[in-house]
Structure 1
């Protein structure tokens, strides 16, 4: 009878949990073939994957990235993970493109990643081209004044949180240098929420990341998170196509399409589609 041994083989395979979670004396790991574990820099532990073949052991790696350790993303409390991808320029015909190569931060399946401390994966600062774009369209305001829809702002687009912008650590009228410092502080809020909203599988260069940071700074984190633009990026659509189609839709303020926003969105699309070899998302760690 051929069917009986086949059933036995299938049953044995069903019991195996290769790539499944395990824990070796409290340290999170993954069940892997021992050679796959050690070749990825991990340490094997016997007796913690009892239903697997004898060469499948619990693999742990307690040092990766910048102060991280390997674990499944669902168990990474900080939410900051690094997948171990590096980007190299490759000449394709007459155009340089970026290719990604695995560095092997963590052995095992794609969701077994290097879990980093919260501060280790802080989003990078936007580049100079982004700062220039934001300054151009926000304009410099030395003392708190209403913006085009009546909201009190100062500096380069800082939205006042208290009466007379009392939270700003500078006296008024501000200098342009002080306004530039305030802008850099403000941008950290928006780059953080933007980086958190975009999944790690989406790779953005410095200009793409900067264009979206400008848009988020202008439209707010809530609008960014709920946007079709972000959902399309996270679904794996081509970033340049998504930006060209979605950014121009964001030209309304107070229910009116403003010429300044039309020009800003067009400038953000141009910046987004400008080539850069610097990768800004996921955040470098």
Structure 2
């Protein structure tokens, strides 16, 4: 599966677009729509470059979901999990109770897991609360 336009918009809205490198809530250098690989403190990108970084980064998240999920899922469920992986990383996803419950066929239980991932650096962040609620809503459609 590939991320739909709705999934892409959720990620863009959640990440926001930053054309200059900045440190995220846990200190990671970030640019564009949440791109972190190889970012240097003085980096600047164009909106077109940010879009390319996003598409490249999404391919990794899509591959993670496509290879880890063993049950049939909807486009909304796929998009929600790609957003989740994009934000939290493949390692967190493959070890998550969310994935374990989903692969056991417990779709409702998997949906409930989104809300448990709202902390960064031991602090609950309002942006993550909103993002996880949006992902859960997309997962449940």
Q: Normalising TM by the smaller chain, what interval?
A: over 0.9
**1:221 aligns to what?**
90
**Could you tell me how far apart the structure 1 residues matched to 2:30 and 2:77 are?**
26
Query: How far did residue 175 of structure 1 move?
Result: 2.2
Instruction: Say whether residues 1:260 and 2:127 are aligned partners.
Output: yes
- Relative contact order higher in (CA < 8 Å, ≥ 6 apart): 2
Aligned-pair Cα RMSD in Å: 1.6
Cα distance in 2 for residues equivalent to 1:140 and 1:153: 10
**In 2, Cα distance between the equivalents of 1:263 and 1:249?**
12
What stretches of structure 1 of length at least 5 have no aligned partner?
1-123, 166-171, 275-285
Larger-Rg structure: 1
TM-score, normalised to structure 2's length? 0.92
| 2:10 corresponds to | 133
Distance in 2 of aligned mates of 1:231 and 1:259? 26
Provide Cα deviations, 1:199-234, integer angstroms capped at 9, x if missing partner.
1xx111111100000001111101000001111111
Q: Is the 8 A contact 1:211 1:268 kept in 2?
A: yes
Runs of 4+ in 1 over 4 A off after TM superposition: none
- 2:32 paired residue number: 155
Tell whether the 8 Å contact from 1:154 to 1:160 is kept in structure 2 after alignment. Answer: no
Instruction: State the aligned residue count.
Output: 141
Cα distance in 2 between the residues matched to 1:273 and 1:252: 22
Relative to total residues, which structure has the larger helix share, 1 or 2? Answer: 2
Partner of 2:104: 235
Measured in 2, the distance between the counterparts of 1:261 and 1:235 equals: 26
Q: Distance in 2 between matches of 1:187 and 1:209?
A: 12
Task: Give the CA deviation at 1:162.
Answer: 5.3
Summarize the Cα distance change of 1:229–1:270 in structure 2 as closer, same or farther, 3 Å threshold: same
